């Protein structure tokens, strides 16, 4: 019975799935009720928080673990600062602009003071100076299925924004700003043998992980400020003294962020499913996914875009990207279940707040120059909007642990949003020489030297910040694109849809993803995932070819007489056939099957399959005609191959490309030399 308890408790929290296989609601593990006031002079928040946590496990839990993310910016001793040097992506911390959060009161609903038992924990690196994780011992443990209610008061200092959250002049992006509970993972969750808190310190290369629940938040800001937040605005009240209190509410999410700026220009639109999706599209998708059409229908969504005044003209780009995302993510993986989507365009100089996701609330990011050609032809605003929206699905609705398995949101999302970009826009930029698809762009980041880390490893353990970007985002996209070619579009689409449906509002691990893929594909793909996700190797197929004439045998052939072609009166060249040698090899260590195409003079191209299991294999062909070329992976079906250039060879050299580009490069060099010389 004890072993069944977690499962029974889980079912008690999760509403039974509707016939369309999407869960109707998330388990209500935690309720947050927060009131906060922003002081625009000091850039501080003063907040009161009421948390109700329900024990989702079969364990009796004696303590609670919290994230205090803002303490990452408290001083130079934090783990975040030590790992990053005060820099994230291309933004640096402003000297002296620290951020922190202090819990000033912590008590149970009955008034029991818990603050004396609050301790700071450092489960990842033993950095005693890091205060991003706190633990509080409960006077009475929480039995399975029971709840505990807490009242918290806190003060938070927002830093000048460089790492997602903070202020810049009058612009505020308030994320990871309140004491947030970690995730108590019952036994069996993500492969755990025993239940326990999963609450990591805030690292330079990590993001977040929290449980689903309900948020009711009110924040008070100067009346002149235009605001946006997670969820739906349910109230607004003007206060004496020039402030206004806004209340927002959202269920079935695991985070809450908000923004304020007196300069925002609010632009609204509506995603109308009836207008954006045709019956023919539903029908085609239903056939593709083998689902009834009614299961695929989408809902209407209100889109709110908060633009900077100088970029107001770009609002249409954001809205279009949002609608494309709502459509394709919804159709492919499951309808977007929320009523609103808010998109924030960060203020100039606040780019560190851009490109980030929160439930129903994303930050994009652009620049004034993108209103003008040629920059307007680069789809950067669209790409960031599609990517950040995609996180509503991967991280938001499917709540993976971004600390330990970042690829399950970043990589899976890069793959999904890349598909949306391909479908909606085709090219990432509409400029000569820069017209490339999402996968072509991503493949440029892969190379023979990318052998130091693996996709599946904790986010803070990568060799460099760049390695985190590659292994969490780019390589998983390449891996999933390769898998898609291998399984076929339809099987891959069904696998992804099944994965999303099954793990919506839950916390999957990589093994859970593999299990769904194996199940839908009807085969064990462990060999693939072990090499590509768990392993550090690369795949670099290479081909080399050679040809020679095969002359009739000559010499001492079984009797005492030596035979030559002349003696036989044969014309050597006329009688000769051609022997073509094709050597396919793998300079990397990842084994993967691949097609080989060849063409002989005077005939159509032909193909055979190499299973890719050997380091190299030699194939010999004797034909009347000479081999012209051979091409390994002619369909470009293995994006994982780090180099496509060495996948094809021809027997007759063609120096046109060399001549063309030597001439072009030399011309510009000659101009530079002439500018000095004359």
Partner 1 sequence: MTTGVESGFSRTVTTMKTLRSFAHGLGRALVEPRLALVLWAWSALLTLPVAAPIWRVWRNTTANAPRADALLEGLNLVAFGELTKHDVTSPWNLAIATLGGVTVLAALGQALAAGGTLEVLLASERGPFLRRFLAGAGGFFWRFLRVFVVAAVAAGVSLGAVALAFQPLSRIAGESAWEPGWYLMQLARAALLALVALFWLIAVDYARIRLALDRDRRSALLALVRAAALVARHPLRAYGIWVIGGLLVGALFAGYGAFRSARAADTGALILLMVGAQQLVMVLRAGIRVSVIGAEVHATRQLRTAATVQPLTPAPPADEPPPVEPAAGPAEASGPHDLDL
- Quick one: which of 443, 475, 481, 507 contacts partner 1 (CB under 8 A)? 443
Residues 639-658 that bind partner 1 (CB under 8 A): 642-650, 653-658
H/E stretch holding 217 reads strand 213-222
509 within 8 A of 495, measured Cβ to Cβ:
no
- The 3-state secondary structure of 313-350, one letter per residue: HHHHHHHHHHHHHHHHHHHHHCCCCCCEEEEECCCCCC
Cα–Cα distance between 628 and 651 in angstroms, integer?
6
- Quick one: which of 33, 87, 263, 454 contacts partner 1 (CB under 8 A)? 263
Nearer to partner 1, 29 or 378 (CB): 378
- Does the protein bind partner 1 through residue 550 (CB under 8 A)? no
Contact region with partner 1 (CB under 8 A), list: 40-48, 270-278, 345-353, 507-515: 345-353
Q: How far is the CB of 367 from partner 1 (least distance, A)?
A: 7
- Quick one: which of 434, 502, 529, 560 contacts partner 1 (CB under 8 A)? 434
Residues 620-639 that bind partner 1 (CB under 8 A): 629, 631
Buried b (16+ CB within 10 A) or exposed e, 387-405: bbbbbbbbbbbbbbbbbbb
- Does the protein bind partner 1 through residue 466 (CB under 8 A)? no
Nearer to partner 1, 120 or 629 (CB): 629
Buried b (16+ CB within 10 A) or exposed e, 553-574: eeeeeeeeeeeebeeeeeeeee
Nearer to partner 1, 35 or 651 (CB): 651
Nearer to partner 1, 243 or 310 (CB): 310
Tell me the Ramachandran region of residue 588: left when phi exceeds 0, alpha when psi lies from -120 to 50, beta otherwise.
beta
Nearer to partner 1, 413 or 446 (CB): 446
Q: How far is the CB of 672 from partner 1 (least distance, A)?
A: 8
Q: How far is the CB of 70 from partner 1 (least distance, A)?
A: 24
- Does the protein bind partner 1 through residue 666 (CB under 8 A)? yes
Number of residues that bind partner 1 (CB under 8 A): 56
H/E stretch holding 384 reads helix 380-390
Buried b (16+ CB within 10 A) or exposed e, 230-241: bbeeeeeeeeee
H/E stretch holding 497 reads helix 489-503
Q: How far is the CB of 421 from partner 1 (least distance, A)?
A: 15
Residue labelled with tokens 């609601």: 25
- Quick one: which of 5, 436, 563, 565 contacts partner 1 (CB under 8 A)? 436
Nearer to partner 1, 105 or 669 (CB): 669
Nearer to partner 1, 21 or 263 (CB): 263
List, in sequence order, every beta strand (DSSP E) within 400-520: none
Residues 310-329 that bind partner 1 (CB under 8 A): 310-311
Contact region with partner 1 (CB under 8 A), list: 149-157, 283-291, 306-314, 405-413: 306-314
Q: How far is the CB of 440 from partner 1 (least distance, A)?
A: 5
Cα–Cα distance between 629 and 648 in angstroms, integer?
7
Cα–Cα distance between 21 and 501 in angstroms, integer?
6
Cα–Cα distance between 450 and 471 in angstroms, integer?
9
- Does the protein bind partner 1 through residue 447 (CB under 8 A)? yes
* Site mask for partner 1 (CB under 8 A), range 487-506, x = bound: --------------------
Q: What is the DSSP string of 588-641?
A: SS----EEEEEEETTS--EEEEE---SSEEEEEEEESS-EEEEEESTT---TTB
- Does the protein bind partner 1 through residue 169 (CB under 8 A)? yes
Instruction: Compute the chain's Rg from CA coordinates.
Output: 30
- Quick one: which of 40, 188, 348, 458 contacts partner 1 (CB under 8 A)? 348
Cα–Cα distance between 357 and 341 in angstroms, integer?
11
Token readout for 233 is 């605005």
Contact region with partner 1 (CB under 8 A), list: 66-74, 365-373, 488-496, 613-621: 365-373
Q: How far is the CB of 366 from partner 1 (least distance, A)?
A: 10
Contact region with partner 1 (CB under 8 A), list: 213-221, 409-417, 472-480, 663-671: 663-671
Cis bond before residue 655 (omega within 30° of 0): no
- Quick one: which of 87, 367, 376, 454 contacts partner 1 (CB under 8 A)? 367
Buried b (16+ CB within 10 A) or exposed e, 145-155: eeebebbbbbe
- Quick one: which of 79, 198, 220, 308 contacts partner 1 (CB under 8 A)? 308
- Quick one: which of 19, 574, 622, 676 contacts partner 1 (CB under 8 A)? 676
Q: How far is the CB of 675 from partner 1 (least distance, A)?
A: 9
Nearer to partner 1, 311 or 456 (CB): 311
Residues near 83 by Cβ (< 8 Å), separated by ≥ 6?
Answer: 203, 204, 205, 460
Binding site for partner 1 (CB under 8 A): 169-170, 263, 308, 310-311, 347-349, 367-369, 432-434, 436, 440-441, 443-444, 447-448, 629, 631, 642-650, 653-667, 669-671, 673-674, 676-678
């Amino acid at each position: 019975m004890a072993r069944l308890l977690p499962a029974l408790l889980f079912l008690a929290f999760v509403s039974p799935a509707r016939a369309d296989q999407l869960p109707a609601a998330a388990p209500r593990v935690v309720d947050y009720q927060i009131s906060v006031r922003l002081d625009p002079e000091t850039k501080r928040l003063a907040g009161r928080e009421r948390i109700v946590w329900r024990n989702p496990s079969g364990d009796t839990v004696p303590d609670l673990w919290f994230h205090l993310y803002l303490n990452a910016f408290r001083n130079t001793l934090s783990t975040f600062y030590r790992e990053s040097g005060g820099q994230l992506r291309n933004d640096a911390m402003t000297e002296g602009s620290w951020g922190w959060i202090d819990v000033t009161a912590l008590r149970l609903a009955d008034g029991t003071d818990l603050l004396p038992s609050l301790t700071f924990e450092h489960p990842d690196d033993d950095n005693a100076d890091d205060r991003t994780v706190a633990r509080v011992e409960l006077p009475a443990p929480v039995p399975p299925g029971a709840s505990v209610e807490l009242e918290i008061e806190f003060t938070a200092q927002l830093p000048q924004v460089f790492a997602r959250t903070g202020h810049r002049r009058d612009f505020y992006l308030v994320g990871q700003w309140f004491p947030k509970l970690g995730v108590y993972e019952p036994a069996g969750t993500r492969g755990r043998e025993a239940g326990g808190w999963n609450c990591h310190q805030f690292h330079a290369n990590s993001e977040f992980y929290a449980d689903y629940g309900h948020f009711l938040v009110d924040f008070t800001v100067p009346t002149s400020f235009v605001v946006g937040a997670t969820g739906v605005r349910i109230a607004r009240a003007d206060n004496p003294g020039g402030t206004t209190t806004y209340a927002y509410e959202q269920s079935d999410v695991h985070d809450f962020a908000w923004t304020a700026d007196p300069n925002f220009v609010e632009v609204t639109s509506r995603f109308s499913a009836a207008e954006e999706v045709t019956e023919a599209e539903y029908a085609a998708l239903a056939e593709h996914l083998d689902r009834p059409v009614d299961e695929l229908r989408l809902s209407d969504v209100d889109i709110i875009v908060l633009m900077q005044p100088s970029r107001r003209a770009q609002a249409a780009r954001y809205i279009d990207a949002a609608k494309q995302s709502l459509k394709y993510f919804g159709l492919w993986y499951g309808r977007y279940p929320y009523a609103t989507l808010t998109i924030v365009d960060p203020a100039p100089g606040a780019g560190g707040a851009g490109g980030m996701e929160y439930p129903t609330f994303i930050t994009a990011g652009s620049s004034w120059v993108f209103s003008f050609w040629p920059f307007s032809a680069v789809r950067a605003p669209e790409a960031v909007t599609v990517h950040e929206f995609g996180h509503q699905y991967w991280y938001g609705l499917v709540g993976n642990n971004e600390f330990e398995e970042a690829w399950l949101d970043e990589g899976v999302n890069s793959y999904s949003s890349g598909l949306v970009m391909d479908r909606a826009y085709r090219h990432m930029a509409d400029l000569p020489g820069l017209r490339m698809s999402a996968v072509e762009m991503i493949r440029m980041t892969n190379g023979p030297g990318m052998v130091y880390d693996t996709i599946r490893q904790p986010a803070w353990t990568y060799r460099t910040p760049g390695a985190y970007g590659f292994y969490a985002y780019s390589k998983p996209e390449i891996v999933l694109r390769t898998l898609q070619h291998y399984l076929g579009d339809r099987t891959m689409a069904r696998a992804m849809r099944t994965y999303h449906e099954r793990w919506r509002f839950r916390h999957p691990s990589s093994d859970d993803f593999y299990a769904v893929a194996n199940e839908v594909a009807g085969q064990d793909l462990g060999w693939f995932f072990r090499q590509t996700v768990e392993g550090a190797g690369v795949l670099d197929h290479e081909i080399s070819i050679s040809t020679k004439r095969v002359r009739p045998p000559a010499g001492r052939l079984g009797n005492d007489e030596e035979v030559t072609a002349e003696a036989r009166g044969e014309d050597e060249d006329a009688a000769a056939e051609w022997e073509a040698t094709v050597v396919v090899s793998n300079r990397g260590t990842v084994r993967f099957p691949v097609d080989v195409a060849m063409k002989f003079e005077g005939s159509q191209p032909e193909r055979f399959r190499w299973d890719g299991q050997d380091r190299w294999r030699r194939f010999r062909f004797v034909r009347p005609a000479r081999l012209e070329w051979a091409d390994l992976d002619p369909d470009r079906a293995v994006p994982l191959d780090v180099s496509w250039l060495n996948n094809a060879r021809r027997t007759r050299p063609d120096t046109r490309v060399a001549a063309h580009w030597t001439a072009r490069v030399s011309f510009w060099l000659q101009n530079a030399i002439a500018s000095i010389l004359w």
